[in-house]
Amino acid sequence: MAVIIPEVRPLPGRDVANIVQLLKAQQHRVHEWVSGSADERLTRYHEWASQTADLLEGVLATDAVDRLIRTPRHDLMMSKATAFNVGMVNHTLNAESRWQDNGLQVLIDQLEAAAAA
């Protein structure tokens, strides 16, 4: 799955190396919500998305955080959380986990390339 992330620049005064480490840590955490019951997965996903958005808003512009974390799938899951059936939750979370893993890697690569230039 190709993930296209428009160029994201750190907020002024933020250290790119620290941002890359933060992104790598949150990317690793994506795998915490890929197994378990639908309810457990949705809860872990919600915790991950909320914490990741809070952390990234301190170092990246809010619109970048919205594009990366608060995706249309995120909004769908949060708006319909109690109405989802197990299969729908699992399918949606599988797709979101792949997107987040790939999206975070693209952003890490962009920031590392910009820092090396």
Q: pLDDT higher for 23 or 114? A: 23
Q: Give the range of the structural domain holding residue 81, as residue numbers without chain letter.
A: 25-116
Q: Answer yes or no: is 42 within a domain.
A: yes
Question: How open is the CA angle 88-91-93, to the nearest 5 degrees?
Answer: 105
Q: What is the pLDDT of residue 9?
A: 79
Give the pLDDT confidence of 45-91 residue by residue, as tens digits.
988 999 999 999 989 988 888 888 888 988 888 887 777 677 778 87
Q: Answer yes or no: is 2 within a domain.
A: no
Note the Cα 69 to chain centre separation in Å.
4
Q: Answer yes or no: is 96 within a domain.
A: yes
Structural domains of the chain, count? 1
**Region of poorest pLDDT, from 1-15, 34-48, 54-68:** 1-15
* 42: pLDDT strictly greater than 70: yes
Q: Answer yes or no: is 84 within a domain.
A: yes
82/100 Cα distance (integer angstroms): 23
What b/e string do you get for 16-39 counting C-beta neighbours within 10 Å, with b at 16 or more?
eeebbebbeebbebbeebbeeebe
Q: Answer yes or no: is 60 within a domain.
A: yes
CB 89, CB 38: distance < 8 Å: yes
User: How many alpha carbons lie under 13 Å from residue 13 in its C-beta half-sphere?
Assistant: 1
- Section 4-30 average pLDDT: 87
Q: Answer yes or no: is 95 within a domain.
A: yes
Q: What is the pTM of this model?
A: 0.73
